[in-house]
Structure 1
Amino acid sequence: MNIQYLKGVGPKRAEKLKKLDIFTVEGLLNYFPVKYEDRRTVRKINELSDNLKCLLKIKLFDNPVKSRIKKNMSIIKLVGKDETGFITATFFNQDFLMDKLFIGEYYYIFGTVKAAYGKFEMVNPEIELCRNDWKANKITPVYGLTYGLTNNELTKLTMEALKEYYDKIEEILPYNICAEYKLISRKCAIKNMHFPENGRKYKISKKTIAFEKLLIMQLGLMSIKGNLISNSAGNQILNTTHSDKLIGYIPYKLTNAQLKVIEEIKKDMSMKRPMNRLVQGDVGSGKTVVAIYALLTAVASGYQAAMMAPTEILALQHFETIKEYLAMADINLNVSFLSGSAKLKDKRIILEGLKNGETDIIVGTHALIESNVEFKNIGLVITDEQHRFGVRQRAKLSTKGKNPDILVMTATPIPRTLALMIYGDLDLSVIDEMPPGRQKVVTNVLKEQDKQIGYNFIKQQVDEGRQAYIVAPLIEESEGMELNSATKVFNELKDTYFSGYELGLLHGKMNNTEKEEIIKRFYEGKIKILVSTTVIEVGVNVPNSTVMMVLNAERFGLAQLHQLRGRVGRGKDQSYCILINESRSKKSAQRMNILRSTNNGFVIAEEDLKLRGPGDFFGTRQSGLSKYEIQNIVNDIEVVESVQQISKKLMTENPYLKGEEYKKLKNAIIRLFKDETIIFN
């Protein structure tokens, strides 16, 4: 049912809920809390300590006092007591409370205690008359919110949805699977995900929901793969004349891992069914030359080939690299570049060249999947940084010809257990060996107050003729978030620490022409220090840059930090990564130490998996599930492994999911992968 028609919603609130991707009552029931507050225990005032978050039952001791500090700020102070002591509560800009506070009445207050000199205070706690408080003595949910929507509103709407629709929640998993893996009913799991009765009920509910969502995703991906293998006739691509010539001209020896992956690709391409292969390799492991080998094999066999990257910066980088390799091996082919920012006249010429077959290789952004792009005879499609493209976008490219071979590349290392699930519709190749001579980047972690040591080191490196990156997590300063923004850092540094140096600023909100100009000037050495957001995470290759400094490093995932570190260490000079960790948490220090101790992306991914659970590895677009759903419910690798086990068993014994007990599961898979070919459709 449309969320607008749930009691208490209406058109205005429905618009706010849409910002959270909640369009239906089912969507609301699947919008699980990000955390919980335990209000089951009412504390006594004499039990309190500093920084304790708790629930108190107090009697209002005296008339509340309201005062105005300045024009737009008012304060209400009240004193409450229980049989063990007194506490002060302070409220900022909450004038409406004055009509709800009465001497002698009992209230529940919930908040964080500040303790000093034997006195206790709560600032802006939640306060409610005891007889009206519907949250007291319960575990209460805390949801991700959007502007204009409070946690109380969302909680009450969820309660209403459960009250009205609880009995209509359908089971998706067959009884035999639930029994085998000790799962509970779907309706009970959903209720306890929002309002857990206790820790044990919450744990089994989370396991049930995670199991269901992962099983739907895994069976869908396996089905797509099964359909591609059994039903699709592909192109036999056999001619390696150009590719082998290229290998002969490359001034270095390919690693055994690269050669192994090339053999896997050659074998796939020579078969009559389409290739669907993922090449996973760490930063700098040499995926590009493997991709070019495949492109040249396709062209020599009489086909056109395409390479798609998520950003114009990365696409341009690939375009230039391909041209360099072809020139090196004296192979004369027509290679074109297409992006959304291409001029209309140039675009028309490029599109014509693709349609009439003059263009051999096309490199570009998602502009390649637009409807006006037609190929004469496309035989191979390569997509880079797959986690930025989804199954659907890749499928769109594959419809441009007669089932072209698909090769997907990613520099984001994922533990093999998860890779088999996330990329369930692809065969997996791993380049797990680094080319000889690739230097290890020295990584150091500094506290915020020691940032200047890092700046001085950058100055030293630049004075010796090298270049540096400084990465900040935001573009502009965000209200309420104490984070370094790229524009703020750039403006501060050019006037203070680096006033005599050439600084550049790069971020995603710049148009493509501006970005290209900044990168070109950095590449040419005209900019010595580039202040940037993570837009440089992929596709910026400047061998002379030797320092990567990341501000607020605790805000980034380990895989992302590893990617950023991979921007340096590409030349002959020793390179360095400086992580500024502004968090005091033990977990944050552990994560930074992982990066300091190893440069191996696969080791980092495995360690990250132990620390954070599998949720963060699932790419939103790839899996069909939202990042929100996955990160909040999938934190147990055992669930992932159980789902893999049952998925393989089902696809072997009952690939079409026949039988009444599988009907709901089958429909859920078809709904999730509605744009894909599911074999039991």
Structure 2
Amino acid sequence: MDWLRLQKALSVEADRGFNDLMGNEFRFSEFLSRSLNQSSIDLPSRSQEKLQELANEFATYADLSFSQRQHLVAETRRFLHQTKRWVEEQVELEQGIGNETRSRSVAVVAPARTPRTKPLVESKMVKRVTLDQAVTFLPGIGAKNSERLAKLGLHTVRDVLYYYPRDHLDYARQVNIRELVPGETVTIIATVKRCNCFNSPRNAKLVIFELTVQDRSGQMKLSRFYAGTRYRNRGWQELQKRHYPIGAVIAASGLVKQDKYGITLEDPQIEVIDHFNASIDSLKVGRVVPIYPLTEGVGADVLRKAVVAALPAVSQLQDPLPEKLRQNYDLVGLQEAIANIHFPPNSQGLDVARRRLVFDEFFYLQLGLLQRRAAQQQEQTSITLAPTGKLIEQFYQVLPFQLTKAQNRVVNDILNDLQKPTPMNRLVQGDVGSGKTVVAVVAILAAIQAGYQAVLMAPTEVLAEQHYRKLVEWFNLLHLPVELLTGSTKSTKRKQIHADLATGALPLLVGTHALIEDPVQFQRLGLVVIDEQHRFGVQQRAKLQQKGDFPHVLTMTATPIPRTLALTLHGDLDVSQIDELPPGRKPIQTTLLSGRDRSHAYDLIRREVAQGRQVYVVLPLVDESEKLDLKSAIEEYQHLQEGVFPEFKVGLLHGRMSSAEKDDAITQFRNHQTQILVSTTVVEVGVDVPNASVMLIEHADRFGLSQLHQLRGRVGRGAEQSYCLLMNSSKTETARQRLKVLEQSQDGFFISEMDLRFRGPGEVLGTRQSGLPDFALASLVEDQDVLEIAREAAEKVIEKDPRLDRWLLMKQELQYRYQRLMGGTILT
């Protein structure tokens, strides 16, 4: 039986989402069913029956639900690991070397030890543990525990070694009782003076265990609480007393706390040791203790036991990073890092191990992105565009303003890209109102004047409509047609657009997801422009690009992304920044308010509307929520129209309205028919009304800083002074400090950096659409310095050998991690 091929097929099927992948000859399920049926291995009858049962289940794989497929693949992987190990042991026994081989000592990298803690793996004769061995065969684990570990995706010894702790408790520091400081985690060595175990007089289900201990500096009481009727048994309680006799020496670890009875350890871990100077032989006391992510039915003790049993196999790990690279960046070897991430000797050992493994996570991600970028630069496109021409010159003439220095710099970046024989793949980042659309139009005109078509895709109908309106104004002056295609476009109009695109009569099409979903065919697509690109999935962006033959791609975002996120998400893109606002724009005056300041906010609104200007009022919800005490858009609209501003016309806009209703609400506001627009975050992008001068955001603490900055950007688009009022409903100091950032800064990049620190990358980008890889250890907030050096190292490696042919171990590791990190898909 081809064990490796079967396990690889099962692994790929799991990584790709249990979709019954099609291979070169057979579907996954057919390949498994055939292979298991044709097995010629002589197995015990029960194993042979199981093999046949699995083969039959794969024959019906197409009819199974997702969870049934998931279970079947996991069960088969475990069975094959166990069977392969059994076969190997039978071969060893037949050759007469089985017992000798298994009793031979192996070289082990010793994990976690302190001067007073025994090593977890000693140099005695141990059974050899191999990386690809099933966890069932680990000493002390067995079949029952291996089933539990399988719930965490741990099937092999290698899986266990790479299952990193989510945190550590540092109990390595030993102190005297008199030196205990609340808030620290420590270990004490002391003598038992008194031991008691009794039923709580106040709670019938609670049992209290108390230990009074003393060292040369003082005395203290340790308590543990046990909930459950089985602990009320007198026999169990007496056993505890016998376990800790008076005069016994104990080591106790925990968090120091001060309560009304004095200083103590919270929920202490306690072990009896031989004497005061004895080594501590424990997984939970006197050392840096790993805390693992667990799931229901899998206890911490079982997982720690599996890790300890797997640690001897660390010596078999080969380090893919060359020694010179490790020396350049001060990185420890892989074996030492893996051993010490689980049971480090001390906090310094943990830091060093973690740094190496975080570097690996970032390094292979950057390597993959840079390799993709190198491949893109090898692609050839027949679309080379001139940097000047009649259309571009006419456009500059009809523009009522001059481009800023930043806009000119970015335009030059783009026009240089368009002349190269490789397709452009550039991201333009620009703050709200910085003029990204104008820059995109220059690129679009370069494509059109060379005889190509262009397409601009936006994530919402509101934003697509906004782009369309602006482009129509400019394109009419240039006598060029432009059309809009969204989900609301009527079928007759849709057919006309399709026809004009196919003949080449339509040079530019603006739209939403409808551009992808529709049977849209371009005659000669030369440029793809994607706005707010982070709101689209990878596949959606790729589908639009595939409508042309290696078209140039320009992506834009008004959500400034900190460098760490940009490297992680867009490491294969060229990035340009428009870091300058058009002249004449006044900074928006931003003020943080509480409920008692509401009357001041309403006074400001009245004053501004009386002077002919307009106001946004933004809320986080559409309907009133029973669970959250938040104002809803509908409720607030009625309140403001009837109770607060009856003299003004108030409008309403939210995401549940039909496209026609949204258009009507925006049009009325744009035409000054409504003075105040109550809205949800639909207005975050796309609504451009230069006359609006006040943005009042209710429950501002419910929004991220980047989103608030986007909302604030809806005002301040004219020459008049504008205001953003942040109504804070939270009583926490953290929320107030976070919102204060907006009071102090108008810089979108600084604000997004602070947002990243306050909320984390998943929340900043929107977790579902973020495209963020799933790191086991690395943090984009805490490990920015490691990301920088990992990027530098990856650039040097790719510069020397883009295909990694001189570093085969690194190449294999990259292929494995790229599948795991990104599910086999390209990020951008």
TM-score by length of structure 2 reads 0.64
Say whether residues 1:278 and 2:427 are aligned partners.
yes
**Bigger Cα displacement from structure 2, 435-444 vs 669-678:** 669-678
1:229 aligns with 377
- State the aligned residue count: 646
Say whether residues 1:451 and 2:601 are aligned partners.
no
Q: Identify which of 203, 212, 219 aligns with 2:351.
A: 203
**Partners in 2 of 1:25 and 1:552 — Cα distance?**
49
Q: Which AA in structure 2 matches 1:179? A: Q
Q: Which AA in structure 1 matches 2:400? A: P
The structural deviation recorded for 1:648 is 2.7
1:243 aligns with 392
2:584 aligns with 437
The structural deviation recorded for 1:212 is 1.6
Q: Identify which of 693, 714, 738 aligns with 1:567.
A: 714
Q: Identify which of 736, 742, 757 aligns with 1:595.
A: 742
1:82 aligns with 212
**Partners in 1 of 2:380 and 2:442 — Cα distance?**
24
Say whether residues 1:426 and 2:573 are aligned partners.
yes
**Partners in 1 of 2:392 and 2:797 — Cα distance?**
41
Contact 1:615 1:632 in 2 (8 A): no
CA distance 1:176–1:299, change in 2 (3 Å): same
1:353-410 Cα distance to aligned partner (Å, 9 max, x none): 4344343222233443348443221110011223334665434332221110111112
Residues 501-520 of structure 1: matches in 2 within 5 Å? 502=650, 504=652, 506=654
**Partners in 1 of 2:183 and 2:700 — Cα distance?**
24
1:311-363 Cα distance to aligned partner (Å, 9 max, x none): 34333332333223334x25331322234x66667655544543443432222
**Partners in 2 of 1:90 and 1:98 — Cα distance?**
10
CA distance 1:497–1:338, change in 2 (3 Å): closer
RMSD: 5.1
**Bigger Cα displacement from structure 2, 425-434 vs 179-188:** 179-188
1:44-85 Cα distance to aligned partner (Å, 9 max, x none): 9999998889999996653125669xxxxxx85858453456
The structural deviation recorded for 1:286 is 0.7
2:100 aligns with none
1:186-215 Cα distance to aligned partner (Å, 9 max, x none): 454345445555322222223222222222
Q: Which AA in structure 1 matches 2:596? A: Q
**Partners in 2 of 1:210 and 1:255 — Cα distance?**
41
Residues 651-670 of structure 1: matches in 2 within 5 Å? 651-659=798-806, 660-668=808-816
Q: Which AA in structure 2 matches 1:309? A: A
Contact 2:595 2:729 in 1 (8 A): no
1:453-490 Cα distance to aligned partner (Å, 9 max, x none): 1x3343223333232334449998697xxx76565x87
The structural deviation recorded for 1:435 is 0.3
1:71 aligns with none
1:72 aligns with none
The structural deviation recorded for 1:601 is 2.2
Give the unaligned 5+ runs of structure 2: 1-10, 12-72, 79-134, 137-143, 214-218, 245-251, 273-280
CA distance 1:472–1:158, change in 2 (3 Å): farther
The structural deviation recorded for 1:506 is 3.7
The structural deviation recorded for 1:528 is 3.1
Say whether residues 1:64 and 2:200 are aligned partners.
yes
Contact 2:684 2:711 in 1 (8 A): yes
Contact 1:45 1:85 in 2 (8 A): yes
1:265 aligns with 414
**Partners in 1 of 2:212 and 2:668 — Cα distance?**
68
The structural deviation recorded for 1:171 is 3.6
Q: Which AA in structure 1 matches 2:742? A: L
Residues 298-313 of structure 1: matches in 2 within 5 Å? 298-313=447-462
Q: Identify which of 323, 331, 334 aligns with 1:183.
A: 331
The structural deviation recorded for 1:307 is 1.4
2:473 aligns with 324
Contact 1:379 1:401 in 2 (8 A): yes
Which structure: larger Rg? 2
**Partners in 1 of 2:357 and 2:434 — Cα distance?**
38
**Partners in 1 of 2:166 and 2:658 — Cα distance?**
35
**Partners in 1 of 2:269 and 2:531 — Cα distance?**
54
The structural deviation recorded for 1:290 is 1.0
Give the unaligned 5+ runs of structure 1: 69-74
**Partners in 2 of 1:399 and 1:380 — Cα distance?**
11
**Bigger Cα displacement from structure 2, 272-281 vs 309-318:** 309-318
The structural deviation recorded for 1:299 is 2.2
Residues 402-413 of structure 1: matches in 2 within 5 Å? 402-413=549-560
**Partners in 1 of 2:339 and 2:660 — Cα distance?**
51
Which SS does the other structure have where 1:229 is aligned?
helix
**Partners in 2 of 1:643 and 1:343 — Cα distance?**
51
Which SS does the other structure have where 1:632 is aligned?
coil
**Partners in 2 of 1:424 and 1:467 — Cα distance?**
40
CA distance 1:213–1:354, change in 2 (3 Å): farther
1:210-257 Cα distance to aligned partner (Å, 9 max, x none): 222222222222222222223322402236433332332222222121
Contact 1:549 1:577 in 2 (8 A): yes
Say whether residues 1:462 and 2:605 are aligned partners.
yes
**Partners in 1 of 2:643 and 2:147 — Cα distance?**
53
**Partners in 2 of 1:428 and 1:103 — Cα distance?**
67
**Partners in 2 of 1:675 and 1:492 — Cα distance?**
44
1:297 aligns with 446
CA distance 1:253–1:142, change in 2 (3 Å): farther
Which SS does the other structure have where 1:435 is aligned?
coil
Contact 2:624 2:635 in 1 (8 A): no
**Partners in 1 of 2:344 and 2:536 — Cα distance?**
36
**Partners in 2 of 1:153 and 1:485 — Cα distance?**
40
**Partners in 1 of 2:634 and 2:211 — Cα distance?**
51
The structural deviation recorded for 1:581 is 8.0
**Partners in 2 of 1:110 and 1:493 — Cα distance?**
55
**Partners in 2 of 1:445 and 1:207 — Cα distance?**
40
**Partners in 2 of 1:182 and 1:216 — Cα distance?**
17
CA distance 1:191–1:390, change in 2 (3 Å): farther
**Partners in 1 of 2:673 and 2:186 — Cα distance?**
57
CA distance 1:444–1:362, change in 2 (3 Å): same
**Partners in 1 of 2:771 and 2:693 — Cα distance?**
38
Q: Which AA in structure 1 matches 2:605? A: V
Say which structure, 1 or 2, has more relative contact order (CA 8 Å, 6+ apart).
1
